[in-house]
Amino acid sequence: MKNPLFLFALLVCLQVRAQTSVSLIPQPVELQVLVGSFVVDAKTTISFTTPEAKKMADALAQKLSAATGFSLVAKNGTAGTIKLLLNQTPNAQLGREGYTLEATTKGVVLQANQAAGLFYGVQTMLQLLPKEIEGKGVAKVNWVIPALKITDYPRFGWRGIMFDVSRHFFSKDDVKKYIDQLAKLKFNTFHWHLTDDNGWRIEIKSLPKLTEIGAWRVARTGHYGDRAEPKEGEAATYGGFYTHDDVREIVQFAADRNVTIVPEIDVPGHSMAALAAYPELSCTKAKVYVNPGTPFSDWYGNGTFKMKVENTLNPSDEKVYEFLDKVFTEVAELFPNQYIHVGGDECYKGYWLQDAGCQALMKKLNIRHVEDLQGYFMNRVEQILAKKGKKLLGWDEILEGGISKSATVMSWRGVKGGIEAAHLGHDVVMTPTTFAYIDYNQGDVSVDPPIYANLRLQKTYSFEPVPEGVEAKHILGGQGNLWTEQIPNLRHAEYMTYPRGWALAEVYWSPKAAKNWPNFVERVENYFDRADAAAVNYSRAIYDPIIKITHGSSGKLALEMESEAPNLSIYYTTDDTMPDQFSPKYGTLVALPDGPITLRVQAFRNGKPIGHLITLKRADLEKRIGR
């Protein structure tokens, strides 16, 4: 060791080890990689000291046994080579969800103040093991945990994903599987969008038609928004709902993984499924059906729109509040957390404007603008929730009609609603379209199914949830939102969620100063392998070239390309041949030839094609100019 060159070489080796062997998402607060590793083998023992720790220790033993083939059992005490300990004296730095993890060649010690911290420490431990830990069945690999020291705790207390089960129905098992994946990423909030125009998904025993009628629509496939109306007499066969028992089972499943469920009943707009069941609750009382994705609204490009079919509850009808009281009584009983999300977004007021009852109410309340009727409605809803001991949470439109300070605001139309709400003293959850809408297209629109907007992984990763000038104490945290108009099954829900969900897990958990895109992409690529082992779907859009077209000089179209992943070479053709590594290699701006060309682009890494072949005809290219 006296030889400085040897010492230098050793340090370089350790450095390389540190970079290659530990790859965690989300990135922990402090991570120090040490020399050596702990080997899990048939002699490994797991111990715990309290009933809460036992639950985590049993789960770890089960997972390890299933993958390694060793019969590991968790035992009471402190004798295990893997110890799960709850701190007798809380470590203030860790809070409720933090943990410390120390692995040496001799063993692993996981410590936390509370069960949630142990749960997250176990998730980190699993990520430290070879990817085969994620697979089904026994794998013959070297089951090592690198020696290291971790101190870890979340930046935000609210780390969520919203899942829309109205536009498409997802079974109880789908929902559990999705929550299980989120919990591994240290998300702690599952916002369950249970009602909308396309299906009412929660049993309300006192209002049985909500699910007898509201949970079912005619079966349609194809692009949502372009689908055909129901035919005369056509049976409503697509759909489903969760019974009270289903909800209780899912709530418990989530709680076992430190996930709180926030239910959303979206009112007064987005209520077509409820109105299909109880048309008397609208202004016109017209018969409507649960919508299968027909073109029922016109959008004018500046956020304003017209509903061609009425989908709003009538705020001037006392029966509406009686209805909501019944709904929220049952919802409040089923979900133990303090919040109920009541929607409030995209409420079209055209039918209110024409309604005599609404006009009379406005006069009585001295309200000049119909928009402010929503404020009245939301305040009535807040009073109903308060009676049930629940706090109101709503989309940022709830600010427009005026809402009490105690309401929590979910900022979705960018961050401006969140900034305004925080300045007014509201608590805020950040979910802006610009960074957190994981229903948006994440790759090239010629590859991925078309969605109305695009959001790349790098943009999501760049999200900073606390806007400048806003008091951080008002920002509870944030979410990703997965709307499912174009998501018919769980595999595609996973594809849309990941890897952007990994980015958001890190945005909401890891310290702001830890943000490092190149390092994150490296971990994302590692995590692809783990997702493969776990049979979790994800998008590989980071390998697909990002194609920009502009007007070049001399009237030609100019092609510019970049990619999110490192170490890619992009090859392209415009002569109707398939691009390979002997085709032109993209370096800098290309002037495309005139005429009816087709551009074909393929990225390569280490001599192998990676990501998708992108094929664009001239008309497609022209449509992209300046985009």
The residues assigned a catalytic role are: 196, 270, 346
Site for ligand ACM in 153-172 (CB under 6 A): none
Considering only CA atoms, give the Rg of the chain: 27
Q: Convert residues 358-397 into a mask of x (bound to ligand ACM by CB under 6 A) and - (unbound).
A: -------------------------------------x--
Question: Of 166 and 563, which has the nearer Cβ to ligand ACM?
Answer: 166
Helix H or strand E segment including 209 = helix 209-212
**Smallest gap, in angstroms, from Cβ of residue 436 to ligand ACM?**
10
**Please, what is the minimum distance in Å from the beta carbon of residue 397 to ligand ACM?**
8
Residue 346 interacts with ligand ACM (CB under 6 A): yes or no:
yes
Is 218:233 a contact under the CB 8 Å cutoff?
A: no
Q: How many C-beta neighbours within 10 Å does residue 581 have?
A: 12
Q: Tell the residue number behind the tokens 């830890």, with chain if given.
A: 514
State which residue, 180 or 345, has the beta carbon closest to ligand ACM: 345
Handedness of CA 444, 446, 448, 454 (dihedral sign): positive
Q: Which is nearer to ligand ACM, 71 or 304 (CB)?
A: 304
Residue nearest to ligand ACM as judged by C-beta position: 345
CB of 267 to ligand ACM, least distance (A): 13
**Least spacing, CB of residue 73 vs ligand ACM, in Å:** 47
The residue among 160 and 579 lying less far from ligand ACM, judged by its C-beta, is 160
Question: What's the count of helices (H) and strands (E) in the chain, helices before strands?
Answer: 18, 27
CB of 396 to ligand ACM, least distance (A): 8
Which residue, chain included where needed, has tokens 């990689």? Answer: 33
Q: H or E segment at 16?
A: helix 4-21
The binder of ligand ACM chosen from 99, 190, 412, 586 (CB under 6 A): 412
Is residue 541 within 8 Å of 573, Cβ to Cβ? no
Residue 424 CB neighbour total at 10 angstroms: 14
Residue 572's beta-bridge partner residues? 601
Question: Does residue 345 interact with ligand ACM by CB under 6 A?
Answer: yes
DSSP 588-608: S-EEPPSSS-EEEEEEEETTE
- The edge-to-edge listing of strands for the beta sheet with 608-617 is 569-573, 598-605, 608-617
Instruction: Report in angstroms the alpha-carbon separations of 547 from 446, 572, 605.
Output: 11, 11, 18
Is the Cβ of residue 191 or residue 530 nearer to ligand ACM in the bound state?
A: 191
In the complex, the smallest distance separating the C-beta of residue 373 from ligand ACM, rounded to whole angstroms, is 19
Q: What gap in Å lies between CA 278 and CA 256, rounded to an integer?
A: 37
As a whole number of angstroms, the distance between CA 359 and CA 354 comes to 8
Q: Where are the alpha helices (DSSP H) in 388-462?
A: 416-423, 433-436, 457-461
Q: Is 440 near ligand ACM (CB under 6 A)?
A: no
Q: Given the complex with ligand ACM, which of 148 and 429 has the nearer CB atom?
A: 429
Q: Which is nearer to ligand ACM, 58 or 346 (CB)?
A: 346
State in angstroms the smallest separation of the CB of 427 from ligand ACM.
Answer: 17
Is residue 154 classed as helix, strand or coil in its secondary structure?
Answer: coil
Q: What percent of the chain is helix, strand and coil (3-state, nearest 5)?
A: 35, 25, 45
CB of 547 to ligand ACM, least distance (A): 28
Query: Smallest distance, Å, CB 413 to ligand ACM?
Result: 8
Residues making up the chain, counted from first to last: 627
Least Cβ distance, residue 395 to ligand ACM (angstroms)? 4
Count of residues touching ligand ACM (by CB under 6 A): 4
For helices 371-387 and 318-334, the axis angle rounded to 10 degrees is: 40
- Give the C-alpha separation, 353 to 370, whole Å: 7
Alpha-carbon gap, residue 557 to 586, rounded angstroms: 15
- Residue closer to ligand ACM, measured from CB, 345 or 372: 345
Residue with tokens 């609204």: 297
Asked if 470 and 424 count as a contact pair (C-beta separation under 8 A), the reply is: no
Residue with Cβ nearer ligand ACM (28 or 199): 199
* 6 vs 452, beta carbon nearer ligand ACM: 452
Binding flag, residue 400, ligand ACM (CB under 6 A) = no
Please, where are the H alpha helices in 69-186? 115-128, 172-184
Which residues are within 8 A (CB) of 370 and not within 5 positions of it... i.e. 6 or more apart?
349, 352, 353, 358, 362
Alpha helix stretches (DSSP H) within 424-516: 433-436, 457-461, 490-497, 500-509
Instruction: Report the interface residues with ligand ACM, using CB under 6 A.
Output: 345-346, 395, 412
